[in-house]
Structure 1
Amino acid sequence: MPSSQNEYPTKKELINYLSEYEKRYDFPIKRDTSVIQVSKEKDVFELRTNNGNYLCKSLVSATGTAMSPYIPKYPNSNEFNGRQIHSVDYLNTNDLNNKKVLIVGAGNSGAQILAEVSKVTTTKWVTSEPPIFLPEHIDGRYLFVQANNSYFKKETKEYRQKVSLSNIVQIQSVKEGLENGVYKDYRPFKAFYKHGVIWSDDTKESFDVVIWCTGFKANLKHLQKLGITQNNRIKTQNTKSISEPGLWLVGYGNWTGFASATIYGVGKTAKQTVEEITTFFNNNSA
């Protein structure tokens, strides 16, 4: 990727890079096309889409997680007459001024959104466990390298503490939040009521808005008819489906390769997938 004048590439630079990548390889991309359902008869997959059907002998499902935001179920959530949004729909604080906001989730999105929202209104932060803030000198790049080494059981000298990609990186907004003392965390509430939430000691507290920073799940709806999905996962060896020949799953998180739901992490497993597909066709060629 071309060097950036900034410490990290900007959103525009990343989009430009991906656009040039597409042009370089002249990918035959079908845009505005959603795969509604995948079925299989004998050795052939049929993909039913909003723009016609397709047949194939091998299929790579790489729909990732971004289209499937996860919100945990809480009793009486439908009774809450405030607003609930997931972090994927959060844009800015413009419509949150003077609203009392509950932010749920201990990861980087929760910490960063809390830092912003706390500047304009009253906030409270719910996490299942005490959040872990990385030292200032450990940024996203170091975190990724350390977690990568930990996952593959490689020795590392940079940072000895066990790391996770959910550990909170001290970007500037988080540093300001720490300085301003906004990161007081509370354990999960037990239910909703009309005006807010009910804590574990049965006390009630009103809120206007709940922002769920609770991550994402694999988007596998299109594969349901194959009957191989269990607990929103499909059993794989590396990225190859164990029970469905000709099917590979790329980019869904650690169960399909370390950090494979990230742009940087997916490449390692994708290369292996290509090799396996090549072998598959060589072994099944007529």
Structure 2
Amino acid sequence: MDVYDAVVIGAGQAGLSASFHLARLGVDHVVLDADDGPGGAWQHRWDSLSMHDVHGVADLPDAPAPGDSADRANVVLPAWFGDYERTHRLPVVRPVRVDEVHGDGDLLVVRAGRRSWTTRTLVNATGTWTRPFLPYYPGAETFRGEQLHTADYPGPEHFAGRRVVVVGGGASAVQFLGELAPRADVVWVTRRPPVWRDHFDENAGRHAIELVQERVRAGLPPASVVSVTGLALRPQEQEAARLGVYERRRSMFARIEPDGVRWADGAFERADVILWATGFRPAVGHLAPLRLRSEHGGIALLQSGADVQTATTALRDPRVQLVGYGPSASTIGGNRAGRAAALAVRRYLVEHPLEIADDRALA
């Protein structure tokens, strides 16, 4: 039986960062990725997202991302991720869609269909992109128009001349409104009022991430970082602001009808499209057999240092590291967490020598 020192699930930004540092530390590991090709979630982003939008936030360890340009991010970054994997000889296996991870004594077994990998530790880097959150409202099934989530966004041209209700209060909603305003008739609906910011420095960023970490430390499901950082308009969205599209409806609608949405007070908005910019949830269902969740529904993480983005170790099982989860669920945080997870893996391996090492050598 082959026993790896570590298995990494996911080859997005956080997963590649973890693999890079595991390789640097000499940790025998494999990276299992569900996609057919490299690029993580970047390969699934909408065509209108350019390198202008992601410049400076897609870096990998020892490798700054391609520079600012009008080129499509979903083309440039997957190609660059692939080059990175080859340059650093990272042991990525794809496509492998993991079904479950369960314990087998001191070891962990990762299963994907009929295949399995046995490992001493696990680094989970599955992100959120595969788990779009789509809230249900009465009458949703009667809507005669089109309902789309951020994950399915086809680009602004698709909505030309149509009336679009954009639901959500995060950065994606703001970006969509900015793109759609010149082409479509848009209405913005959010449950909570957006928090706008004019200035955001390093201290503010650190405080925002700490607020996310407080939830994770308590075993609560993580909130998005943007929910505490606030929102800012980029230059390309200033025109939309002048058109008044960021004047939101001050409450959520109560139900969906065939031709639009209706509020509890009887107010009605006609809609051809409902665009749900309602975020994502962590893709951690395959970890359920390990019983990592607290009674509050989240996975609590241990924090050993001052940098909350390096909190990666699952409180209930120190063999498991989570990167791109909670306070590290950002592009910059994913790289810090990848290094922290690799160090935590090595520390665990040193402190917990494998008792069946001789048997493994004879297998």
Per the TM superposition, whether the score is higher than 0.5 is yes
Aligned ranges for residues 178-217 of structure 1 at < 5 Å? 178-186=241-249, 187-217=251-281
What is the aligned counterpart of 2:83 among 20, 34, 37? Answer: 20
C-alpha contact 2:101 2:290 (8 A) present in aligned 1: yes
* Cα 1:76/1:225, change in 2 over 3 Å: farther
Residue type matched to 2:287 in 1? L
Q: Which residue of 2 aligns with 1:257?
A: none
1:30 is displaced (CA, Å) by: 0.4
SS of the residue corresponding to residue 94 of structure 1 reads: helix
C-alpha contact 1:82 1:208 (8 A) present in aligned 2: yes
Q: Which residue of 1 aligns with 2:301?
A: 236
* Cα 1:151/1:103, change in 2 over 3 Å: closer
Most deviating of 221-230 and 36-45 = 221-230
User: Equivalents in 2 of 1:86, 1:33: separation in Å?
Assistant: 25
Give CA-to-partner distance per residue, 1:24-46, whole Å, 9 cap, x none. 32111001111011121212211
Matched, 1:278 2:354: no
Give CA-to-partner distance per residue, 1:136-188, whole Å, 9 cap, x none. xx5xxxx47344332478xxxxxxxxx86652222122111112222110121
Residue type matched to 1:233 in 2? G
Q: Which residue of 2 aligns with 1:150?
A: 207
Q: Which residue of 1 aligns with 2:128?
A: 65
Q: Which residue of 2 aligns with 1:246?
A: 319
SS of the residue corresponding to residue 185 of structure 1 reads: coil
- Identity, % of aligned positions: 27
C-alpha contact 1:101 1:211 (8 A) present in aligned 2: yes
Give CA-to-partner distance per residue, 1:92-111, whole Å, 9 cap, x none. 12232222110011222111
* Cα 1:54/1:242, change in 2 over 3 Å: same
SS of the residue corresponding to residue 211 of structure 1 reads: strand
User: Equivalents in 1 of 2:89, 2:259: separation in Å?
Assistant: 54
What is the aligned counterpart of 2:147 among 78, 84, 102? Answer: 84
* Cα 1:71/1:220, change in 2 over 3 Å: same
C-alpha contact 1:46 1:55 (8 A) present in aligned 2: yes
* Cα 1:131/1:75, change in 2 over 3 Å: same
User: Equivalents in 2 of 1:253, 1:100: separation in Å?
Assistant: 35
User: Equivalents in 1 of 2:341, 2:67: separation in Å?
Assistant: 34
Most deviating of 214-223 and 80-89 = 80-89
Residue type matched to 2:105 in 1? K
Q: Which residue of 2 aligns with 1:158?
A: none
SS of the residue corresponding to residue 173 of structure 1 reads: helix
- Any stretches of 5+ residues in structure 2 without a counterpart? 1-62, 211-225, 303-310, 356-363
User: Equivalents in 1 of 2:315, 2:252: separation in Å?
Assistant: 37
RMSD between aligned residues: 2.6
User: Equivalents in 2 of 1:19, 1:115: separation in Å?
Assistant: 31
C-alpha contact 2:167 2:276 (8 A) present in aligned 1: yes
C-alpha contact 1:197 1:205 (8 A) present in aligned 2: yes
Residue type matched to 2:266 in 1? D
C-alpha contact 1:147 1:165 (8 A) present in aligned 2: no
User: Equivalents in 2 of 1:209, 1:9: separation in Å?
Assistant: 28
SS of the residue corresponding to residue 58 of structure 1 reads: strand
1:244 is displaced (CA, Å) by: 2.2
SS of the residue corresponding to residue 99 of structure 2 reads: strand
What is the aligned counterpart of 2:238 among 170, 175, 186? Answer: 175
SS of the residue corresponding to residue 90 of structure 2 reads: coil
* Cα 1:134/1:95, change in 2 over 3 Å: same
User: Equivalents in 1 of 2:65, 2:131: separation in Å?
Assistant: 32
Relative to the length of structure 2, the TM-score reads 0.66
* Cα 1:147/1:182, change in 2 over 3 Å: same
C-alpha contact 2:253 2:261 (8 A) present in aligned 1: yes
User: Equivalents in 2 of 1:56, 1:21: separation in Å?
Assistant: 25
Q: Which residue of 1 aligns with 2:197?
A: 134
Relative to the length of structure 1, the TM-score reads 0.82
C-alpha contact 2:205 2:229 (8 A) present in aligned 1: no
SS of the residue corresponding to residue 281 of structure 1 reads: helix
